Structure 1
């Protein structure tokens, strides 16, 4: 009798586990990019993207578990099915679309170039940075643009380009004078400038290829459809605009 009871108990636990297996989505981000994704004094994930993905979770009836990863490892995390979703101010590109699927755009962006507060560097076009020591974050659209348009064309010497896993470390090196210019998205550029006593030399759309989207494992059409419907709903009811205003996005 005890054996039968034990078997039924184990069966019940297994059934419970299977029933709850799909109630949580694991979200990968790179929490070094305020105001989009960062951690507060308690270690909690905060920011525009973090609020947005939780709102999406509420819309689709899923709990959200957020994990911090290097930006350049996020797509691999989806491919290896370690995470279900990426939200990290990520732009869709043809190269990335070969590896993962993207949601509809939730935010249009501009890029920025950061320099030291007392710098006399004058930049009217992104091409003007070719004569300086230039930094961007590893695996970003900004890095690809620099590589394709400046390094590979010989305009920027390869040894004068510096790739950083964490953009906050890049900002500190600009402040210290180890690099001259940091190329990132404009909204986090404003936050980093305030935090590190830097200044924005240029805000531009010259290097922007797309707006920001969430990414999912390639072929996960069911989850992607739910996410797209949630984004549309958050746009329609004004929630997305309220989040943009909350974080003072451009």
Structure 2
């Protein structure tokens, strides 16, 4: 059984092409704060929930949001089950071989989160168990660096919530994932701490089936949302600060492509 929610967008702005659908089915890993999660009323909220709604408004479409574990988003978009995938998805050359992305709209790194009284850095993770999200760039980084840092084991999870439960229960010693999500998550949890930023130079965007026309349409809308300051407003709303000057949140960029 899958969890669904419906976000209505006003029928305004540039219309979808005749080949496109009037309802965009968007897959998202709900629970990925502050990008897409449920509020106390059960409504889907978050930076990318708002961003997709703004894009759909410009395209004259409605949005159906479907909850899919992160690792399932790739097959879902490739098979056509969903039109767009979001969930702070990092653009990589490997992914561009099989899917398409619109231009990036957020710059990020990985991070290590631990109990406040636990490991204080990656250097203290020697012989420890690290958790990651299955198929994420954190998973890729931890796998590549396992020997360097001496991880005893890498445990994989389908999202932030189960990993945090295991971290607090002592079943893992640290958790490697996107730094903005973890900084947001631990802000009211003194027992947890983001202990180290891991520079990886990542950028996030929406993901589409390979060479989908919709990717080009959404990319053009992102041009406008950046130029008009809409993305900057969403950044202020969800992160409490203005985006950095020159960041992908405010800079119009080309669609990513393989060299």
Shorter-chain TM-score range: 0.7 to 0.9
Q: Which runs of 5+ in 2 are unaligned?
A: 1-17, 242-259
The 3-state SS of whatever aligns with 2:208 is: strand
Instruction: Tell me which residue corresponds to 1:184.
Output: 177
Instruction: Tell me which residue corresponds to 2:146.
Output: 150
1:199 aligned residue (161, 172, 193): 193
- Measured against aligned partners, the alpha-carbon deviations of 1:15-34 in whole angstroms (never above 9, x if no partner) come to xxxx8972111000001111
| Greater C-alpha radius of gyration | 1
1:168 matched to 2:173? The reply is no
Q: CA deviation at 1:130?
A: 4.1
1:61 matched to 2:53? The reply is no
- Measured against aligned partners, the alpha-carbon deviations of 1:130-187 in whole angstroms (never above 9, x if no partner) come to 4321011111011011112325x79434xx1110012111012111111111111111
- Measured against aligned partners, the alpha-carbon deviations of 1:90-138 in whole angstroms (never above 9, x if no partner) come to 001122112211111011112221110222x231xx5653432101111
Q: What is the TM-score of this pair, normalised by structure 1?
A: 0.83
Pick the structure with more strand per residue.
Answer: 2
After TM superposition, the structure 1 = structure 2 runs for residues 1-250 of structure 1, keeping only pairs within 5 Å, are: 22-119=21-118, 121-123=119-121, 126=122, 129-150=125-146, 155-157=150-152, 160-194=153-187, 196=189, 197-205=191-199, 207-208=200-201, 210-220=202-212, 222-248=213-239
C-alpha RMSD over aligned residues: 2.0
Instruction: Tell me which residue corresponds to 1:5.
Output: none
In the alignment, the residues of structure 2 paired with residue 173 and residue 104 of structure 1 have an alpha-carbon distance, to the nearest angstrom, of 35
Q: CA deviation at 1:225?
A: 1.1
Asked if 2 retains the 8 angstrom alpha-carbon contact of 1:187 and 1:249, the reply is no
Asked if 1 retains the 8 angstrom alpha-carbon contact of 2:126 and 2:149, the reply is no
The 3-state SS of whatever aligns with 2:141 is: helix
Q: What is the TM-score of this pair, normalised by structure 2?
A: 0.80
In the alignment, the residues of structure 2 paired with residue 20 and residue 76 of structure 1 have an alpha-carbon distance, to the nearest angstrom, of 22
Asked if 2 retains the 8 angstrom alpha-carbon contact of 1:28 and 1:69, the reply is yes
Pick the structure with more helix per residue.
Answer: 1
In the alignment, the residues of structure 2 paired with residue 132 and residue 70 of structure 1 have an alpha-carbon distance, to the nearest angstrom, of 26
Q: Which runs of 5+ in 1 are unaligned?
A: 1-18
In the alignment, the residues of structure 2 paired with residue 131 and residue 193 of structure 1 have an alpha-carbon distance, to the nearest angstrom, of 25
In the alignment, the residues of structure 1 paired with residue 222 and residue 20 of structure 2 have an alpha-carbon distance, to the nearest angstrom, of 24
In the alignment, the residues of structure 1 paired with residue 158 and residue 129 of structure 2 have an alpha-carbon distance, to the nearest angstrom, of 17
